[in-house]
Amino acid sequence: MQRQLHTKTKISLLVALIGLISLLPAQSKRFQGQGPTPIVSTVSKPIQKQWKGDYGFMEDSVIFSNDFEGGRLNGVVQSNDSTYTVLITSENTPINISPWYAFTVESKKEREIDVVLTYQETAKHRYYPKISYDRNNWKPLDSINYTEYDKGTDDFGAGSLAVSVKLRLKVGPQKLWVAGQELQTSQDVNEWITEISKNDYVNHQTIGTSREGRPLEALTIGKAKTKRMVMVISRQHPPEVTGYLAMQPFVETIAGNSQTAKKFRKKFTTYVVPLMNPDGVDNGHWRHNNGGIDLNRDWEAFEQPETTAVREFMKERVAATDGKFYFAIDFHSTWDDIYYTLADKFKGNMPGLVPKWLEALKSELPGYDPNIRPSEKTIPTMVSRNYFYEAHGAEALVFEIGDNTDREFIKKKGEVSALKLMELMLELK
């Protein structure tokens, strides 16, 4: 009897093990999300500014440059006739592994060169290189011209990255732009703000100033008196361009001409701070603002002017309208598309909105299964989502887009997300 049980146990263990193994590949392919956020001080600390200018190699008349906003290139040495090794370093440490780089390269004669990207200790190569001849139209470097060294074997995170990479580039008199992600600097954002503000019902205003003196701009979509409000922010983290690329169509759809958008703007006003960290973006920072701080850890202590400006703006809006924020969203980028939501136990001003919305997205985008990671904790607030919920009762989430998510899909997702959200909020109001 005992023996038989033993055998049975063995068999069931084996079955369980086989079951588990068969599940493993599917599970490991999905990004599991980041762990809990550790509590950190957000009092300013020093940052290292990069030297800006041209790195010229006169014998070969090859010139590298980082002399533009959003660029990051911290050193170039020539390793042999046709190979240049580039160093990319961060504004300070400790820091996330999101080494952002951007530089131009040109040569008097048409020629092919190899550029090896190297990073400071503990950092690795993360962003697949994009190239452009006009700074506006970007395409990924052809994979035939891309070599990775010492690549990790994980699907996501630091363990998936290469230590360094080699780019084979065709250079000539026409300036070639090379960047970790498409350049979207404060100048580009301001052009977008100007464009979208041409609509009668869209206005913009400066709500504060960054540490380095750049204006923090906010859009108002709808009437300033409306009591029902929505808050949108993006780009707390400079290299997270794909999150910004989703925010744009999302906001454009709310400001668009659909019947839903027109109805929505009668009931709700949407406020947007599209560029939370203009200093970090223009200086090519990997993560922090000019106070050397991760802004998305400062929504408790409010030591930094960028987060403080948004806090004061939202308070002022509530006081001026006697209204409420029903929904708030913060756009970011990470290893893969993911939604950091709040657990169902947190009931804000429109309970159930976020889960219903994500469910609606699933049915609207065929084959799309949203990766949702609810948080069980909102205190200390530290991150924007928790602050929006705790201070305003807004149904809040972090909308993360993968670094490499297809740009067309990002656009579609941004548009559909806004449409479905407006429909639901009109229904639930």
Q: One symbol per residue from 120 to 159: x for binding Zn ion (CB under 5 A), - otherwise; what is it? A: ----------------------------------------
From 359, 400, 408, 427, the catalytic residue: 400
Between CA 247 and CA 418 the distance in angstroms is 9
Rounded to a whole number of angstroms, the minimum distance from the CB of residue 70 to Zn ion is: 17
Q: How far is the CB of 8 from Zn ion (least distance, A)?
A: 50
Whichever of 229 and 273 has its CB closer to Zn ion, that residue is: 273
Residue length of the chain: 429
Instruction: Give me the least distance between CB of 98 and Zn ion, in Å please.
Output: 8
Binders in 348-367 for Zn ion, by CB under 5 A: none
Residues 84-123 contacting Zn ion, CB under 5 A: none
Three-state DSSP string of 340-400 = EEECCCCCCCCCCHHHHHHHHHHHHCCCCCCCEEEECCCCCCCCHHHHHHHHHCCEEEEEE
Cα separation, 299 vs 40, whole angstroms:
11
Pick 264 or 335: Cβ nearer Zn ion: 335
Listed ranges 158-166, 278-286, 326-334, 358-366: which one lies at the site for Zn ion (CB under 5 A) = 326-334
Helix axes 407-428, 241-254, angle to 10 degrees: 40
| Angstrom distances, CA of residue 61 to CA of 54, 109, 110, 194 | 12, 8, 11, 40
Q: Which residue's Cβ lies closest to Zn ion?
A: 332
Distance of alpha carbon 23 from alpha carbon 347, whole angstroms: 34
d(CA 189, CA 33): 29
**Closest CB 297 distance from Zn ion, rounded Å:** 11
As a whole number of angstroms, the distance between CA 227 and CA 268 comes to: 7
Closest CB 240 distance from Zn ion, rounded Å? 5
Identity of the residue, 239 or 256, whose beta carbon is nearer to Zn ion in the bound complex: 239
Instruction: Give yes or no: 359 in active site.
Output: no
Q: Segment contacting Zn ion (CB under 5 A): 24-32, 200-208, 255-263, 324-332?
A: 324-332
Please give the C-alpha separations between residue 239 and each of 42, 244, 257, 334, in angstroms, as whole numbers.
Answer: 20, 10, 31, 10
DSSP string, 285-354: -SS--TTS--GGG-TTT--SHHHHHHHHHHHHHHHHHT-EEEEEEEEEEESS-EEEEE-TT---SSTTHH
| Six-digit token string for 250 | 């999302």
Q: By rule CB under 5 A, what string of x and - marks binding of each residue 227-246 to Zn ion?
A: ----------x--x------
Site for Zn ion in 330-349 (CB under 5 A): 332
Smallest gap from Cβ 6 to Zn ion, in A, equals 52
Is 265 one of the binding residues for Zn ion (CB under 5 A)? no
* Active site residues per annotation: 400
Residues that bind Zn ion (CB under 5 A): 237, 240, 332
